[in-house]
Amino acid sequence: MRLKLVTATSLLALCLFTSADGAEINQDGANAVKETLTKLLPEELAKSGLITVNPAGTRYEIIYDLAKLLVKADPATFTINGLTPFSMFATPLDSGLWNVEGDNKFNVSGHFKGADQKPTDFAYSIASLVYTGVFDPAISYLRSGTFAAKDIKISSKSETEEVHATIASMDQKLSSTDSAGGNGRVDFVGSGSMSDFVEQVSGLQMPPVEIRSGSINVEAKVNGLPAKQIREMVFFVLEHLEEKELSPENSDKIKGIVKEAFPLLTSFSETIGVNNLTISSEMGKGGAKAFGYNLAIDGPSDAMRFGFGMNAQEISLDTPLMPANYSAFMPTNLDFQLALPNLNFASLGDALMALDFNDKAPETSGEEMAKKLFRDGRLTVEFPKISAKSEVYDIDMTGKIEGRVDTEKDYSMEATIFARDLDKTIAAVQELAKTDPDLNQVSFGIMMVKGFAKTDADGRSRWDISVSRDGSVAVNGQQIKGPDGPDQAPGLETDQEQEPDQGQDALPAPPQQP
């Protein structure tokens, strides 16, 4: 019962209205709206006054009194102050949709005891929360909306840790269109921004840390979302939460819903940009002018591509932990992009449909599912871009690794590495070696690597590296290591190979640059 209560009440924000028809606003209509909003709740909670709906001119006022959820809470373990009722307004439209809007503020505080019985005080306030949108009962979600919050403050304090966070303002926008093809799927586009974010954390085991950002921007897009089927899955789960085992009919029903929902999307993308990021503590200060994160999923269901990346520009670090003579090696710009291509979600979906939801999954199910997703267990990891730049080096790399999900031995790699001003890097390492003689070996190693390089038209040094499944390694077309022996794992050298004798060829001399 408790799980159903928590899950159901968390869905109140979905506003599960019946279809609007533009009829006269009256008490009967208000009762109908209330019935839909409370139909997922336990009877006792539905009658508690948690939700009240009243006619209000040309619209309905919906009042949420969340304090009703806590009437049976033990004051010794949880209390909250200032949790006053908040309201939103819903206007039925002739199209069957609803306009929803609200203007509220929050200022609550209280305390609770966790599993360790240690008390924590908390406070949460929003000076202004204004929103408006268009709600679609067919998908139980907003078709569009705008949301604006101002002066947000969050704090918590326990015996061991204290956290304070403030946000000057937050803004979000949402829009949607029906997906091409008329299959009932929906494309959503969302954006958001946050200004003047500050978080301060301190504790008994850590010095105070402050994180600041001038602004944070988010852009997200999802195409081909089966919104109706997702709605049906949510309702199905809520209706059967307390059942220990699904009947054959219900098992077939949920499989049918899931099958109709596959693929769960045709593409997804998200980017997050953090500007003027700083992290300060008594150990120093660091940050970046800009920090970015991106995620993308696209392609047909039997050959989808997953991409992920992070980047930072104008990185700075000021701390006594960093010796001054090493500061030039601190990267000022970083970019890391990774991708997993050719993922077979169609085959994975078919395998899921073949499972018995009432049976405990066999131990091999995870491995078998991975082989479906990665086509017979073959895995490819692409690196479209990895780069790092500082005062004394400028390196770029692209490449890919191919292998299997069930072993670390059967793999191959293709990579191309570029380095600009390599002589400058060598000189910087040699200068540093004057105070740290161990770096002489690093300097010597870089000079050896330079000997294998080609020079591109733009002046950069280039290495095309190939590692075959048999363990052989080639750089710029020249083999520098032969295949592994029959008892040797790919990529590992025997002691004999590391120390060639008279019967073996030594490492060939580095080729001259063209």
Q: Is pLDDT of 379 > 60?
A: yes
Q: Virtual CA dihedral for 346, 347, 348, 351, nearest 10 degrees?
A: 130
Burial annotation 448-470 (CB, 10 A radius, 16+ → b, else e)? ebbebbeeeeeebbbbebbbbbe
pLDDT, residue 166, reads 98
Is-contact 280 272, C-beta < 8 A? no
CA–CA gap between residue 152 and residue 140 (Å, rounded): 28
Q: Is pLDDT of 174 > 60?
A: yes
Q: Is pLDDT of 399 > 70?
A: yes
pLDDT, residue 358, reads 64
pLDDT, residue 191, reads 97
If you search the block for the tokens 């392609």, which residue do you land on?
299
Q: Is pLDDT of 159 > 80?
A: yes
Is-contact 371 356, C-beta < 8 A? no
CA–CA gap between residue 467 and residue 490 (Å, rounded): 9
Q: Give pLDDT tens digits for 422-459.
A: 999 999 999 999 988 888 999 999 999 998 999 999 99
pLDDT, residue 198, reads 98
CA–CA gap between residue 377 and residue 408 (Å, rounded): 12
pLDDT-derived band at 21, boundaries 50, 70, 90: low
Q: What is the mean pLDDT of the chain?
A: 86
pLDDT, residue 23, reads 62
Q: Is pLDDT of 253 > 80?
A: yes
pTM: 0.84
CA–CA gap between residue 165 and residue 198 (Å, rounded): 5
pLDDT, residue 501, reads 40
pLDDT-derived band at 22, boundaries 50, 70, 90: low
Highest mean pLDDT among 72-76, 104-108, 318-322: 104-108
Q: Is pLDDT of 513 > 90?
A: no
The mean pLDDT of 225-240, rounded to a whole number, is 86
Cβ neighbours for 17, distance < 8 A, ≥ 6 positions apart: 33, 36, 37, 90, 92, 98, 135, 137
Burial annotation 214-223 (CB, 10 A radius, 16+ → b, else e)? ebbebebebb
Q: Is pLDDT of 14 > 80?
A: no
pLDDT, residue 510, reads 44
Give domain limits for the chain: 160-377, 392-514
Q: Is pLDDT of 382 > 80?
A: yes
Q: How many CB atoms lie within 10 A of CB 302?
A: 15
The mean pLDDT of 184-213, rounded to a whole number, is 94
Closest CA to 226 of 295, 304, 301: 301
